[in-house]
């Protein structure tokens, strides 16, 4: 008959044999490698999407239908042809060649961003989160040379939904300084509080300072959106890993992030302005399609930048 001492030692050995679950998971960061250039990053991003276009086109079609039905309500707003006619009349024909196309483009962007109902914003946020998770999962599988189907991305990519939303909430909190700065600047300019040029410049510098504070935080937190999709990764661990990822090179990475909207803006203008001048009837449909593809371009660019920083 085994003694009490042997039973106790057996329990202790069993406890020691059980592995502990780590609650602080981090990722390794490259420290001895030059960060990829903006041009190479843009080229690699476009090449990745084009080479593996089949699953991404499928996801884009799903996103297209969801936004069209639930957000836009099958309505894309005022047509570019009527906007072009109104602007042309307002400019009396002479100014159309120089600024009319840009005015129509800005108006169309506003129409594309608008929803059909009060709930449209909530629908857009939810569908954008869902498709973002599917895109990130697909990018990870693509770079691992794994074959997958569209439904796999929609099913398997959803498991870190709660963690992803929690990181998004942190990012929204980090946007508070730039929101405050923009509101203050709008108030002082709109109500004439800043009368002189010097006062306007000073208030703009206040806005710039608050915007820089938000952008400082975002330079690391944006990468947490990709880190948190890793298995067994918590939001706090993802945010901590993201801070380590950009440590010592935050402003270099900031230039890469700032380049993304600039590149996308110029590509959009180069595509849209000729269409507005030549085939205005198609402009709103092309712009809506570009707005759908935008999220794929952003995630591809940012994910490749993230992968370039990680020591795998």
Q: What is the pLDDT along the chain (312 residues), one digit of tens a residue?
A: 455 444 444 444 444 444 443 445 566 666 556 888 999 999 999 999 999 999 999 999 999 999 999 888 767 766 666 666 666 665 655 444 556 667 777 777 777 776 666 788 889 999 999 999 999 999 999 999 998 999 999 999 998 999 999 999 999 999 999 999 999 988 988 888 877 888 889 999 999 999 999 999 999 999 999 999 999 999 999 999 999 999 988 889 999 999 999 999 999 989 988 888 888 778 888 989 999 999 999 999 999 999 999 865
Model pLDDT, residue 212: 94
Nearest-5° Cα angle at 272, 139 to 125: 45
Return the SS3 of 122. helix
Quote the pTM value: 0.83
Rounded CA separation 117/121 (Å): 8
Boundaries of domain holding 68 = 36-309
Is position 74 within any domain? yes
- Helix 197-227 vs helix 120-143: crossing angle, to nearest 10: 50
Classify residue 134 as exposed, middle or buried by CB count within 10 Å of its CB (0-12, 13-18, 19+): buried
- Number of domains the chain contains: 1
Is position 194 within any domain? yes
Longest dimension (CA), the chain: 106
Is position 10 within any domain? no
Model pLDDT, residue 189: 85
64-83 confidence digits (pLDDT tens):
999 999 888 767 766 666 66
Model pLDDT, residue 110: 74
Residue (of 140, 213, 126) closest to 168 by Cα position: 126
Model pLDDT, residue 82: 66
Instruction: Compute how many other C-beta atoms are within 10 angstroms of the C-beta atom of residue 203.
Output: 19
Is position 131 within any domain? yes
Could you give the C-alpha distances from 192 to 152, 208, 244, in angstroms and in order? 56, 19, 44
Is position 147 within any domain? yes
Is position 145 within any domain? yes
Model pLDDT, residue 21: 38
Model pLDDT, residue 19: 40
Rounded CA separation 184/57 (Å): 42
Is position 7 within any domain? no
Is position 247 within any domain? yes
């Amino acid at each position: 008959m085994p003694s009490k001492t042997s039973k106790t030692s057996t329990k202790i050995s069993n406890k020691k044999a059980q592995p502990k679950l780590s609650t602080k998971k981090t990722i390794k960061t490259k420290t001895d490698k030059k960060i990829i250039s903006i041009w190479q990053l843009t080229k690699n991003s476009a090449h990745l999407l084009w080479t593996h276009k089949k699953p991404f086109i499928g996801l884009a079609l799903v996103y297209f239908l969801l936004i069209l039905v639930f957000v836009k309500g099958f309505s894309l707003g005022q047509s570019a042809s009527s906007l072009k006619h109104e602007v042309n009349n307002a400019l009396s024909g002479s100014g159309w060649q120089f600024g009319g196309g840009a005015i129509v483009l800005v108006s169309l962007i506003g129409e594309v961003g608008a929803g059909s109902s009060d709930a449209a914003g909530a629908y857009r946020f939810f569908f954008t989160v869902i498709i973002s998770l599917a895109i990130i999962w697909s990018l990870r599988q693509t770079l691992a040379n794994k074959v997958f189907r569209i439904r796999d991305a929609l099913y398997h990519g959803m498991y870190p939904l709660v963690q992803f939303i929690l990181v998004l909430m942190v990012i929204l909190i980090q946007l508070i300084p730039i929101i405050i700065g923009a509101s203050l600047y709008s108030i002082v300019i709109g109500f004439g509080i800043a009368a002189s040029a010097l006062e306007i410049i000073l208030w703009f510098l206040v806005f710039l300072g608050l915007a820089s504070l938000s952008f400082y935080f975002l330079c690391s937190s944006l990468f947490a959106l990709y880190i948190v999709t890793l298995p067994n990764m918590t939001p706090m661990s993802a945010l901590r890993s993201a801070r380590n990822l950009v440590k010592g090179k935050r402003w270099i990475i900031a230039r890469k992030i700032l380049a993304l909207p600039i590149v996308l803006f110029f590509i959009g203008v180069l595509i849209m302005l000729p269409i507005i001048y030549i085939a205005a009837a198609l402009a709103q449909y092309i712009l809506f399609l570009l707005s759908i593809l935008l999220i794929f371009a952003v995630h591809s660019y940012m994910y490749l930048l993230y992968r370039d920083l990680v020591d795998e």
